[in-house]
Amino acid sequence: MPDYTDILTETHGRVGLVRLNRPKALNALRANLLAELLDALKAYDADDAIGAMVITGNEKAFSAGADIKEMADATAVDLMDWGLSDGWHRISTIRKPIIAAVSGFALGGGCELALLCDLIVASETAQFGQPEITIGVIPGAGGTQRLTRILGKALAMEMVLNNRFLKADEALAHGLVNRVVPVERYLDEALQLAGEIAARAPVAVRLGKEAINSAYELSLAEGLAAEERAFYLLFSTEDQKEGMRAFVEKCAPEWKGR
């Protein structure tokens, strides 16, 4: 990995970890940070030695959102020229699973970044919010759409129109996060979960992620057809033969990722 300025990267077995690293600005997502994050995720996605990724911040903040100081004086045309949405969209095209390990603030674009991930492990201090209304705007990286699909209209309206924060236990109750653990353990828990997924049949993991995410885009009939094709496709992999052979022979499978 290159020397980044706004993120830190490390690998834990088959898991690639990205730490957002602007602690003095509560990990505000300036353009450079987003570019580095995307670069690191793409590198891990292309690396056969990596099976899953974790994105985290620090105990106080996963991220307090887009960098308000950077965008305060921008015009609408500036925002379009910067290609903001393109970078965000490209994070959603990463094929391997991404787990957000969230402690403290996950606000605005920080909340939306967590929502772009496939699973969320939260610490007991995690808070999710879309405070853009307090600075005269609305979410711009998917918050109005993804929160509404996950939480429903009532709660999404409160969050977006009235700066309602969701604490970790509420986020768990509403299905926004996978699990809530004490703050000392949230990163280890996320790394363990990522490690378990990274040890599974890689092509099946990739197609499983793709099929679930397509449920947000497709009709039920189209989604079922996509799932069926992915299921059939897996019968062209060595790992399907290996997995079923190992089950029948009562031994552990050895995945090849092909």
Instruction: Give the residue numbers marked as catalytic.
Output: 66, 109, 112, 132
User: Min. distance of Cβ 59 from ligand DAK in angstroms?
Assistant: 12
User: Min. distance of Cβ 175 from ligand DAK in angstroms?
Assistant: 23
- Of the candidate spans 82-90, 164-172, 186-194, 236-244, the one that interacts with ligand DAK by CB under 6 A turns out to be 82-90
Are residues 39 and 9 in contact, defined by beta-carbon separation less than 8 angstroms? no
- Of the candidate spans 38-46, 128-136, 199-207, 226-234, the one that interacts with ligand DAK by CB under 6 A turns out to be 128-136
Query: Angle at CA 42, nearest 5°, toward 38 and 45?
Result: 140
**Which among 65, 151, 155, 159 is positioned nearest to 114, based on CA atoms?**
65
Among 88, 128, 186, 255, binds ligand DAK (CB under 6 A): 88
- The reply to whether 107 sits near ligand DAK by the rule CB under 6 A is yes
User: Min. distance of Cβ 82 from ligand DAK in angstroms?
Assistant: 9
Binding mask 135-164 toward ligand DAK (x if CB under 6 A, else -) reads: x----xx-----------------------
User: Min. distance of Cβ 194 from ligand DAK in angstroms?
Assistant: 25
- The reply to whether 97 sits near ligand DAK by the rule CB under 6 A is no
E runs forming strands in the chain? 7-12, 15-20, 52-56, 61-63, 98-102, 105-107, 119-123, 127-129, 166-167, 179-181
- The reply to whether 176 sits near ligand DAK by the rule CB under 6 A is no
Burial of 32 per CB tally in 10 Å (0-12, 13-18, 19+): middle
User: Min. distance of Cβ 161 from ligand DAK in angstroms?
Assistant: 14
- The reply to whether 133 sits near ligand DAK by the rule CB under 6 A is no
- The reply to whether 57 sits near ligand DAK by the rule CB under 6 A is no
The smaller minimum CB distance to ligand DAK, of residues 26 and 166, is found at 26
Helices first, then strands: H and E counts in the chain: 12, 10
The smaller minimum CB distance to ligand DAK, of residues 69 and 256, is found at 69
Element (H, E) at 14: none
CA atoms within 13 A on the CB side of 107: 22
- Rg over alpha carbons for the chain, rounded to the nearest Å, is 19
Are residues 91 and 116 in contact, defined by beta-carbon separation less than 8 angstroms? yes
Q: Write out the residues near ligand DAK by the rule CB under 6 A.
A: 25-26, 28, 64-69, 84-85, 88, 105, 107-109, 131-132, 135, 140-141
